[in-house]
Amino acid sequence: MLWPHKDLLCISQLTKAEILHVFEMARRFAEVNSRPIKKVPTLKGKSVILFFVEPSTRTKTSFDIAGKRLSADTYSLAASSSSLKKGENLKDSALTLEAMHPDALVLRHHQSGASEFLAKRLSCSVINAGDGWHAHPTQALLDGFALSGVWGDDMAGKTVLIVGDIAHSRVARSDVLLLNALGAHVRICAPRTLLPAAVREWPVEIFSDLSTACRGVDAVICLRLQLERQKAGLLPDLREYARTFGLGARHLKQANPGVLVMHPGPMNRGLEIEAALADAENSLILDQVSAGVATRMALLFLFLTRKDQSSRDEQQPQNHRFQEA
């Protein structure tokens, strides 16, 4: 497949065939990650700037590892060490970085739409690593890839529950889009104060009782409770939230046999999920982390070789790209 996209801003821009193509590429790179020498020369000479205005552990580190394992040069930049701290605006900071001729800019920002704002102004690829409450497309892709490792790519007939702080979650929004694109039925469960205003327009089934929501589900994705929202008076107290919406073994008794448990992290054990469930055999939480590296390797490959692919014969064999350096 010739990759048609300059940027990755939202799951909605991808077709089902493109999502499955990302999965196929991620499977190839997952094999690279299992080798004693985890490096290939695929992106040698390419450069990637990781511009994270918001803090991140998993996303930033996995993009950094993904780039390095493909032999790309990666450069990390945080808001605290950039000219944003001196009052420079996002546009000027990004234009300054582009003048250094990177091949891609991976952006995490607290404002929804920040990635799209830059994508319209920069000639290099822009990959959205999370913007406000809007979208986190690479997280959704790695979640789908982790599930595909158990279920395969056809998720028709599967039911996935997303539980927690839906209102403030870019992960929930992106996961809903991706799971629907793959044919899964999606449920959400949250306190009313943590549901988005327009949630009735979402392609989901809405629940307010977690035990009921878990009946017949095949996977449960727990979301981080954004504790800063507690200060806004959206919840009575954390103990009550944990009792009512924290995933426990009693809830999973209502689910289908072999139900999978997921969490995008960072995870508050005992609040969003019982500690034992996070470490159980049916937990995919660490699989999600591993899937993150392979998926982001696939995305960097697709976006950074897009122009190269379009300029050579479409039928040319590609296996040589995955040989060890």
Compute how many other C-beta atoms are within 10 angstroms of the C-beta atom of residue 120. Answer: 9
21 is in an annotated binding site: no
Confidence of residue 299 (pLDDT cuts 50, 70, 90): very high
d(CA 3, CA 30): 20
35 marked as binding residue: no
Has 266 been labeled as part of a binding site? Answer: yes
Q: Which CATH class is domain 11-136+288-322?
A: alpha beta
Annotated binding-site residue? 108: yes
Confidence class of residue 305 from pLDDT cuts 50, 70 and 90?
very high
Residue 321, pLDDT above cutoff 90: no
CATH of region 139-285, choose from 1.10.3720.10, 3.40.50.1370, 3.40.50.10490, 2.70.170.10: 3.40.50.1370
pLDDT single digits (tens) 152-172: 999 999 999 999 999 999 999
Domains 11-136+288-322 and 139-285 share a fold: yes
Which residues are CB-contacts of 315 (< 8 A; sequence separation ≥ 6)?
none
C-alpha span between 162 and 223 (Å, rounded): 7
Cα dihedral: 20, 137, 221, 286 (round 10): 80
Is 86 flagged in the annotation as binding?
Answer: yes
Q: What is the pTM of this model?
A: 0.91
| Stretch 209-224: mean pLDDT | 97
What are the structural domain ranges in the chain?
A: 11-136+288-322, 139-285
Asked whether the predicted pLDDT for residue 75 surpasses 50, the reply is yes
229/212 Cα distance (integer angstroms): 25
Q: What is the DSSP pairing of strand 104-109 with strand 47-52?
A: parallel
For 248-258, what is each residue's pLDDT tens digit? 999 999 999 99
Helix axes 137-151, 285-304, angle to 10 degrees: 120
269 annotated as ligand-binding: no
pLDDT digits (tens, 9 = 90+) for 134-154: 999 999 999 999 999 999 999
